[in-house]
Amino acid sequence: MTSLVIAEHDNALIKGATLNTVTAAKACGGEVHVLVAGEGAAAAAAAAAQIVGVSKVIHADGTSLKDGLAENVAAQILSIAGSYSHILFPSTAAGKNIAPRVAAKLDVAQISDITKVDSADTFERPIYAGNAIATVQSADAVKVITVRTTGFDAAAATGGSAAVETTVAVADSGKSALVGREVTKSDRPELTAAKIIVSGGRALGSAEKFSEVITPLADKLGAAIGASRAAVDAGYAPNDLQVGQTGKIVAPQLYIAAGISGAIQHLAGMKDSKVIVAINKDPEAPIFSVADYGLEADLFTAVPEIAGAL
């Protein structure tokens, strides 16, 4: 029984989500191998070999894997899938894009967003926006899984010494191509990996107010900035800051929700945070039902005051 973890990387560095996925793979039992598929990704493969608990790194390098296209990466995984009992992806945009494609080609069910490994064939996963936890058992020969990274601790990134094996990249499918990328620039910690998150909602009123009120507090705390769907839809914050069922799932040490009412879909993305603080004018806002500390106040005065008091 051996597990294969599909690494998320930018060719030079291994992304944090991979480390949590390795921990989930270890819980499935057996050896853990990591696939690094990319172009010029030798540095990422070397970094993957350092992860504690990994016994082999398979490094596939070629132009077809440059842009992480689902068609090509899935084909690459399928070329080696035969030797594995479990194939695990981090439940990121890239992982969610590719995993079901691999599962369908293998004619097996895929298990999405697991939060716990009960045994090698039994897993727990949230359904209905996190309002219920299902325990599911798979009878398939290969378990194709995406891992909710906030459900598992990160494996140590250094201290391991796995062998790196190179393999030939698959041919390009020719059916899709990357045209361009627009990356939101940010020097802040990555939302899904941040220890502290300051999140703003519709009550902020405008993009200017959003950054004027939320940014100084986030700066003071070295925190990532998040947003509710309402704030994103209104254009106060970019899409990739959205926390919730359909955005990012986060579980920081401290989550500060300012001007967020706390709809089911938002709670689904943050209710596993260690400490939740709610700042809201409305005493009836549902966010107060999950908050450890609630402050009933106008966020335009309270948030700057908190920043000032730190």
Partner 1 sequence: MKVLVPVKRVVDYNVKVRVKSDGTGVDIANVKMSMNPFDEIAVEEAVRLKEKGVVTEVIVVSCGVTQCQETLRTAMAIGADRGILVETDVDLQPLAIAKLLKALVDKEQPGLVILGKQAIDGDNNQTGQMLAALTDLPQATFASKVEVAGDKVAVSREVDGGLETLSLSIPAIITTDLRLNEPRYVTLPNIMKAKKKQLDTFKPEDLGVDVAPRLKTLKVAEPAKRGAGVKVADVAALVDKLKNEAKVI
- Which residues from 85-104 bind partner 1, rule CB under 8 A? 92-94, 96-104
Where in 136-175 is the site for partner 1 (CB under 8 A)?
Answer: 136-140, 173-175
Tell me if 64 contacts partner 1 by CB under 8 A. no
Q: At 98, which amino acid appears? A: I
Tokens of 188: 């802040």
CB of 150 to partner 1, least distance (A): 13
Contact 26, 60 (CB under 8 A): no
Tell me if 297 contacts partner 1 by CB under 8 A. yes
Please state, in angstroms and rounded to a whole number, the distance separating the CA atoms of residues 206 and 212: 10
Nearest residue to 157 (alpha-carbon basis) of 273, 44, 288, 279: 44
Tell me if 265 contacts partner 1 by CB under 8 A. yes
Q: Which is nearer to partner 1, 84 or 123 (CB)?
A: 123
Tell me if 306 contacts partner 1 by CB under 8 A. yes
CB of 266 to partner 1, least distance (A): 12
- Polymer length of the chain: 310
Where in 12-41 is the site for partner 1 (CB under 8 A)?
Answer: none
Residue from 176, 208, 219, 298 that binds partner 1 (CB under 8 A)?
Answer: 176
Tokens of 101: 């494609």
- What are phi and psi for residue 103, nearest 5 degrees? -60, -45
CB of 165 to partner 1, least distance (A): 26
* Class of residue 171 by CB neighbours under 10 A (exposed 0-12, middle 13-18, buried 19+): exposed
Tell me if 234 contacts partner 1 by CB under 8 A. no
